[in-house]
Structure 1
Amino acid sequence: MTRDDSIGFASRPGLRPRLSPLARSLRAVGWLGLPLVGACGIAAAQTTPTTQAAPESAPTRLERVEVIGVSPLPGQGIDRNVLPYSTQLIKRERIEETQAVNLSDFLNRRIAGVQVNDIQGSPFQGDLTYRGFRASPLIGAGQGLSVYLDGVRINEPFGDVVNFDLIPEFAVNTISLVPGANPAFGLNSLGGALAYTTHDGRSAPGLRAEVSGGSFGRKRIDLSHGGNDESGWHHYLSATLFDERGWRDVSAGHLGQLLGKLGHDDGTTSWSVSLLAGRSKLVGNGLLPAYTIDGTALTDDLYVRRNAAVYTHPDLTRNRLEQVGLNLRHTLDADSSLSALVYVRRTQRDTINGDAADAPDTGGTSANPEPTGNNAAFNTTQTRQTGSGAALSYARTSGAHQWQVGGSLDQSRVSYRQIEQEGFFTVTRGVIPAAGEPPELAANVQGRSTAAGVYATDTWQLAARTHLTATARYNRSAVSNQLTVRDDVTGIVEDKARERFTYQSLNPALGIAQRLGDAATTPTVFANLARNTRVPTVIELGCADPNEPCRLPAGLQADPFLEQVKSTTAEIGLRWPLAAGTHLNVAVFRTDNRDDILFRSVNLSGQLGYFANFPKTRNQGLDSELALTLGAVDLGLGYSFLDATYQADGVLRQGRRNVTIAPGTRVAGLPRHTVKLAAEWRVAQAWSVGADAQLLGSRGVAGNEDGLLEDTAPGAQPQARRLKIPGYAIVNLRASWKPGKQWELYANANNLFDRRHESFGALAQTQFSPEGAFTGVGREALFVAPGTPRALFVGMRMRF
């Protein structure tokens, strides 16, 4: 029995009353709509005389040919209008216009189907999802997006995680987002592929600089210099420094990035060598208990009292990167070219985590908060990863065919070590190692992986307005590891037997794009069917035994075999250039995942759990966007519907609960409805103002997927209550002034109405009182990921 009496936090004592999610969304749209309506009216009144005087017979060019890559390797692309799936190609100018916090924030604001959850709380540790598939820096997240930087796959070998803090954002020239299980983009492209391409001295000549700062003590400096000469040589150098104290307690963050490129282009052969280095020190404070649960009653806890609080600390991650890459393209003749890539990539990751002990001593109370024993665990990890690889492709246009064949080989070595030490909580819930308690090895792993693949893709013009695209890729992967672990009971350190698993797959895709006429305003319809796979990583294979759960970032055991994930995507859609400056894109999709790898947590707040296959999950829905220009005003509207469900009977371990899953049970943490609005008004030649808004529907809570609050003993009455994170609307404003050709001053207000919101929720246990004192008594609680409050920033851009 479940009762669908969805709760919103505002209904609880201590918070101001809230409207329903729909009413709140409409009110936010109204606030945004007032300036938009005024802008549209002024724009109509300010139609330029040139536009009015244009003869009706004058030819109007409504389309731009935008070329997008059909594989990760930079090289010859194809007109995106003839591809049988929806794609996004975002250029630097559009990114800067939005004035987003970073690239992930831009995608969250402007691209249909993309969302970013603030699970960690750091702007560079966001959990990015596209159509319900994730690219995340969190080990244990079910990764379903492949991410590339200049053709180099940056999903790390250990867990397929993506360290967004190590992407040189200021140097990024374009972003390509390709949806679905596209086999050309290699393993892990289950829900799509995200490809970043950086500048060189030809695309960004001269000096560029940007300085910004504002709320939370945030300061950022970006610099770049590029150049080229008539002999074909070109160079580029980009650097970024970022520093903030953060808006939550003990959440300071710092990072630095450096990218250098040197290359040559003689018209036939073009090559460039790049060196990328990055350092970061970021805090991800994670979830915070909002309410404790007694029966079906909710009592305010830490989050309600103060949303900037943290549950426990420290939660520190230090990342370090060095990468060298060589990209080469050789034009064989007017119709064919050869592209190649070679790279070496080395990353280091060190974490410090203060967590509650698995069996804590009874501690203080609200009257006497001092701990009385070792009630916490001070955990540290060190991860060292070295990856190298090469890729080669040959592209040719042969009559009605644009085809490409290629292959790639990627190898990696992983060294991981986890140390545990008993500790105790301070009055601020910080963890200090206990004196006299030596650090102990929890797990050590040495792992290797090799992935080889060959692919072929062809876009065939069957008729003047009809294009058929077929793709196939064969993959062969091997993953091995040697584990050393300490038995929790005996304390004996033991070497496990070496494991090695091999996976093979042949993945096809077939699609058609049909233009319905010859006029520039004629729509194109398309359909596509694709299949791809994801191979388990070292962490997933080493943590798959429910009897020996692991502590993430990772505690590893020699465990059962996991099947590779097999995803099939079907997509149909429409691209319609309605008029000059106006277009409509719609895509309907369904992706079925067989043997999906899910992390089944034993303790959400303590990060204990294990990985296991689930028979079938499904992500289906609709993405749509409408863009139009009315005089001096550009408007954008995006709507996404996502239905992410389990499609088999099963039991998921979520925190302290065994959740019973039936076909149709919704996946937690993903809203069904998302609306994105944007407007840009060029007030004058040097002035522009803009706004954007994101309206998200409610989402389910992890551990409450079946509508129950706890596991029920046989014959007992279930405690049923459907919990949901309420929907919300966020409005952002910005303004820009260009006093000269080389200068731009800007300001923006994010979350203008200071809307308190939450992007994720989970059931777990808290061992602290609502005042934050350690009690040693576990209480069931609803934990949430707090959203960032209102923030104000100003900045300056310079180009010389």
Structure 2
Amino acid sequence: MEKRDFPSGGMRSFSFCAMAVSAGLAASAGIADGQVVPPAQNPIVVAPAAGAETPPAKAASSKSPIGIRTIRVNVAPLGGAEINAGKWPAAIQQFGSRQINRNGNPSVVSALDRSASGVNLQNSQANPYQPDIIYHGFTLSPIQGTPEGISVYVNGARFNVPFGDLALWSVLPQVAIRSISVQDANPLFGLNALGGALDVQMKNGFTYHGAEVEASGGSFGTFRGNAQYGVQHGNVAAYAAIQGARSSGWRDAQSSALESFYGDLGWRGPGAELHVNATLGHSFLNGPAATPVQLLAVNPNAEYTGPNSIEDKYAKLSATLTDRINARTSLQAVLYYDNLWEHLINGNGPNDLPCGAGPYGGNMCQGGSYADGNPPATLAGGGYVPYYASPTGRYGSLAVNTTNTNGYGASLQLTRKQRVFGLRNHIVAGVSFDGGFTNYTAASYDGILNAERVYAPPPGIAYPGYKSDEAGAVPVGIVVRNAYYGLYLLDTLDLTRRLTLTLGGRFNIANIALHNHNPPDQYVGRQGLNARHYYKHFNPDIGFAYKLTPLATLYGSYSEANAVPTPAELSCASPTASCTLANFIATDPNLKQVVAHTFEAGLRGAFLVPDNGTLTYNVDYYHAVANNDIEFLQSPYLGQYTGYFANIGSVLRQGVDLALKLNERRWDAYFTYSRIQATYQSGFLVSSHNPSAVGGVITVQPGDFLPAIPKNIFKFGADYKITPQWTVGLAGNAQTYTYLHGDQSNQQPPLPGFVTLNFNTSYKVTPRVTVFGEVDNLTDAKYYEFGGFSSPAGEALTLGSGYNNPRAYSVAAPIGGYAGVRVKF
């Protein structure tokens, strides 16, 4: 089929400037990437008042000659490596707790989606607590099976889970977050920082004093609550926070239950500070996932097949130490251990169907009748799956897998400030180790689909049904060990009072070993899952920052970052031994590591405005080429639900971010525009249910756009204080179309763009009591959070012969209202 180009609402092709300008900007009420803010907006206090919080360390600063406080940024995972943002040669966006915790719903994802430049979301699971964050075309996902391109650190400890490098916000009490920085490609943040890193700093008893309780509820059976308490006695401090949520969802089988805890004990002495903190989290999330469009036309709330649930239990213990050895030298250290137990249940259409007439008439066959050449379905442990009748005429399968991952690590960092040949110099050097030990099991079961298309075991058979052992559904039991080592150095040298040079890099080493502890299986290759993989790469970083004026900085940089294939990707990398998106694993061929080469240039600064306010601005251009990028591709050989990971060549992600932020006595307003061009630079063939496929295969050509990434993103919003007690606000998000997953060749009509508006208000009844409310999707816009293709054959078997349109969407939330109260003690 001939390739089609689709209009973007009057926005034609965009010509990128190699030296377009940037800055990071705060979200709806903060500073991001700018280097200035009026002192009155965020005063530094030594002992916080009840329920109050000191500014994040990276925002604490000295004052410029004209009385504007400068912003500081942390350039390495461990604290203590802060420098003036005016000297940093890349974009950075910072968000404080006020931006993360709005109207009773503390959420990193919502804060970034609302006002961060270059960020969009997709939600393949269709659960509001499980979206993917996509930044500049690189993905950070909570779902196994998604190639990750962003690293996350919490209090200097790595937060990405060792097995798949996913990040689970649902198990972290986000009311306890003090600040988060979105950093562009910075190799010091380790593996997977291809597109950037999220640096999260939590609250403690030195930075937060008093107590606060919030409760809210509203549409879709939603109830949310959180509480936090911080106290300091001399050199000792403690902080604790809890957070929970319940929701029925706006679609069938979309319920959510979450609860989490964070606690910190701290000690502070002359020049030294020690913290020990713990995180506990549990979530049980149901997601109806993408649903065929013909079924959505009948019932927009419908679930295609079920059940689809993910349960996570998480625990983490970490310790951080900062020791100021002398006025110029400081030492930082972190030690951590975490455990994640994840259980996934995924109901699907059938893998096996009655064999029909013939020698196997009393059995089930793989994918269809024996007369059509399909072999009999085999049971785990031997023998064939016996024939059984479905009362509804529908057959189904159930994928069940369990991941038990232990992560552990330590880092040591030295920071020193001294003059070199009379020039100011700031140097950071560090070493890190991040390890993991994972037990992973998976199995597939044959059964039926009931009238609601929810899986059930065959009549008369105990749950969960007949355990399969066949191509694409092999019982799996593996043990994975991974060890990642890092050595980094970064030097920031003031060549003149205006010009700063940054030079450094990080050397990464990765060892990954997989061992199969299941009995030998005919569907697993000779070597099976027993293999070792070794990767290494040095990632340089060089850049400059030039102060045009005390309030304006021009910068540019080049950096590299690498991502090694995760154990989940390595164990599912063969098209002839593929796995499901639920990660059935059958073989272990080698994959190449991904290396991203990023150029960046920009301009950031600020202006003073009346009413003791500031207008900050940033314009940023980035150009990132990822070599040997990894994607999850549909298998051309096995069943309709299987796929595999593969290197697909080079991918270009480039674009421009523009951001403006106004902050003054009554107004907090922002506007961001992002132009993103994410294209394949190498051609490849891939199997797809795409109607444009020839023989079940589409041809991806250089220049084709990546799915799920809009070319244009607009974000805007404002909060206005009608009185000192009453605030109202409006926020908007507009995005142009995106191509569907499975349409890497861009031959099908894309997923339409959308515009949403959200309204919020709060009223301070007393100095300690505030009531608030919000309306999301104020205009009740109808749009979709994800688009892909399902199997027409699978639709016909599951829904009936009239269902033949393979397009499948995840429906976004309609208009919803919420209200709550916040009480400080």
TM-score by structure 1 length? 0.86
Task: Label 1:208 to 1:767 Cα distance change in 2 as closer, same or farther (>3 A).
Answer: farther
3-state DSSP class of the match of 1:540?
A: helix
1:200 aligned partner = 204
Superposition deviation, residue 305 in structure 1 = 2.7
Q: Deviations over 1:380-435 (max 9, x none)?
A: 11110011100000001112111110010111101000121111111111111224
1:411 aligned partner = 435
1:340 aligned partner = 333
User: Do structure 1's residue 218 and structure 2's residue 219 form an aligned pair?
Assistant: no
User: Do structure 1's residue 190 and structure 2's residue 194 form an aligned pair?
Assistant: yes
Match of 1:451 among 474, 484, 489: 484
Q: Deviations over 1:154-191 (max 9, x none)?
A: 211111111121122010010011012x1100010000
**Percentage of pairs with the same residue:** 27
1:140 aligned partner = 145
Aligned counterparts of 1:4 and 1:497: Cα–Cα separation in 2:
42
Kindly provide the amino acid, as one letter, of the partner of residue 695 in structure 1. Answer: A
Q: Is contact 1:402–1:460 with CA below 8 Å preserved after alignment?
A: yes
Task: Label 1:557 to 1:679 Cα distance change in 2 as closer, same or farther (>3 A).
Answer: same
Aligned counterparts of 1:497 and 1:742: Cα–Cα separation in 2:
59
Task: Label 1:430 to 1:97 Cα distance change in 2 as closer, same or farther (>3 A).
Answer: closer
User: Do structure 1's residue 594 and structure 2's residue 597 form an aligned pair?
Assistant: no
Aligned counterparts of 1:605 and 1:428: Cα–Cα separation in 2:
23
Q: Deviations over 1:560-585 (max 9, x none)?
A: 21110011110000102133410110
3-state DSSP class of the match of 1:516?
A: strand
Q: Is contact 1:454–1:474 with CA below 8 Å preserved after alignment?
A: yes
- Where does 1:89-108 land on structure 2 (aligned, <5 Å)? 89-97=94-102, 102-108=107-113
User: Do structure 1's residue 545 and structure 2's residue 574 form an aligned pair?
Assistant: yes
Q: Deviations over 1:714-759 (max 9, x none)?
A: xxxxxxxx31111110000000101111111100000001111012
- Where does 1:20-35 land on structure 2 (aligned, <5 Å)? 21=9
Task: Label 1:486 to 1:249 Cα distance change in 2 as closer, same or farther (>3 A).
Answer: farther
- Where does 1:394-433 land on structure 2 (aligned, <5 Å)? 394-399=414-419, 400-433=424-457
2:412 aligned partner = 392
Aligned counterparts of 1:134 and 1:192: Cα–Cα separation in 2:
10
User: Do structure 1's residue 669 and structure 2's residue 708 form an aligned pair?
Assistant: yes
Match of 1:633 among 647, 667, 670: 667
Kindly provide the amino acid, as one letter, of the partner of residue 724 in structure 1. Answer: P
Q: Is contact 1:362–1:777 with CA below 8 Å preserved after alignment?
A: no
- Where does 1:15-164 land on structure 2 (aligned, <5 Å)? 21=9, 61=66, 63-97=68-102, 102-164=107-169
Match of 2:540 among 489, 499, 508: 508
Q: Deviations over 1:678-734 (max 9, x none)?
A: 1111100100100100000011122233344xxxxxxxxxxxxx3111111000000
3-state DSSP class of the match of 2:91?
A: coil
Aligned counterparts of 1:119 and 1:354: Cα–Cα separation in 2:
15
3-state DSSP class of the match of 1:81?
A: helix
Aligned counterparts of 2:672 and 2:821: Cα–Cα separation in 1:
29
Match of 2:817 among 786, 792, 795: 792
2:174 aligned partner = 169
Aligned counterparts of 2:167 and 2:10: Cα–Cα separation in 1:
34
1:27 aligned partner = none
User: Do structure 1's residue 756 and structure 2's residue 782 form an aligned pair?
Assistant: yes
Superposition deviation, residue 799 in structure 1 = 1.6
Q: Is contact 1:619–1:642 with CA below 8 Å preserved after alignment?
A: yes
- Where does 1:718-757 land on structure 2 (aligned, <5 Å)? 722-757=748-783
2:555 aligned partner = 526
Superposition deviation, residue 523 in structure 1 = 1.9
Aligned counterparts of 2:354 and 2:262: Cα–Cα separation in 1:
50
2:298 aligned partner = 305
Aligned counterparts of 2:321 and 2:702: Cα–Cα separation in 1:
49
Corresponding pairs, count = 719
Task: Label 1:638 to 1:420 Cα distance change in 2 as closer, same or farther (>3 A).
Answer: same
3-state DSSP class of the match of 2:212?
A: strand
Aligned counterparts of 2:559 and 2:391: Cα–Cα separation in 1:
57
Kindly provide the amino acid, as one letter, of the partner of residue 381 in structure 1. Answer: N
Aligned counterparts of 1:637 and 1:790: Cα–Cα separation in 2:
23
Q: Deviations over 1:316-353 (max 9, x none)?
A: 11100111101100011112110000011111000111
Task: Label 1:5 to 1:502 Cα distance change in 2 as closer, same or farther (>3 A).
Answer: closer
Aligned counterparts of 1:253 and 1:494: Cα–Cα separation in 2:
42
3-state DSSP class of the match of 1:701?
A: coil
Kindly provide the amino acid, as one letter, of the partner of residue 200 in structure 2. Answer: Y
Task: Label 1:389 to 1:768 Cα distance change in 2 as closer, same or farther (>3 A).
Answer: closer
User: Do structure 1's residue 377 and structure 2's residue 380 form an aligned pair?
Assistant: no
Gaps of 5+ in 1: 8-19, 24-58, 291-300, 364-368, 709-721
2:290 aligned partner = 287
Superposition deviation, residue 62 in structure 1 = 6.6
Task: Label 1:216 to 1:465 Cα distance change in 2 as closer, same or farther (>3 A).
Answer: same
Aligned counterparts of 2:222 and 2:88: Cα–Cα separation in 1:
42
Gaps of 5+ in 2: 12-63, 357-388, 469-473, 691-695
Aligned counterparts of 1:615 and 1:658: Cα–Cα separation in 2:
18
RMSD, matched Cα: 2.6
Aligned counterparts of 1:136 and 1:526: Cα–Cα separation in 2:
30
Superposition deviation, residue 773 in structure 1 = 6.1
Aligned counterparts of 1:777 and 1:555: Cα–Cα separation in 2:
31
Superposition deviation, residue 517 in structure 1 = 2.5
Task: Label 1:308 to 1:679 Cα distance change in 2 as closer, same or farther (>3 A).
Answer: same
Task: Label 1:247 to 1:486 Cα distance change in 2 as closer, same or farther (>3 A).
Answer: farther
3-state DSSP class of the match of 1:539?
A: helix
TM-score by structure 2 length? 0.83
Aligned counterparts of 2:698 and 2:138: Cα–Cα separation in 1:
21
3-state DSSP class of the match of 1:140?
A: coil
Aligned counterparts of 1:178 and 1:595: Cα–Cα separation in 2:
23
Kindly provide the amino acid, as one letter, of the partner of residue 719 in structure 2. Answer: E
Q: Is contact 2:394–2:798 with CA below 8 Å preserved after alignment?
A: no
Q: Is contact 1:326–1:343 with CA below 8 Å preserved after alignment?
A: yes
Q: Is contact 2:442–2:476 with CA below 8 Å preserved after alignment?
A: yes
Q: Is contact 2:345–2:399 with CA below 8 Å preserved after alignment?
A: yes
Q: Is contact 2:531–2:588 with CA below 8 Å preserved after alignment?
A: no
Superposition deviation, residue 559 in structure 1 = 2.8
Aligned counterparts of 1:215 and 1:605: Cα–Cα separation in 2:
39
Q: Is contact 1:105–1:116 with CA below 8 Å preserved after alignment?
A: no
Superposition deviation, residue 251 in structure 1 = 1.3
Match of 1:319 among 305, 312, 317: 312
User: Do structure 1's residue 658 and structure 2's residue 697 form an aligned pair?
Assistant: yes
Kindly provide the amino acid, as one letter, of the partner of residue 188 in structure 2. Answer: A
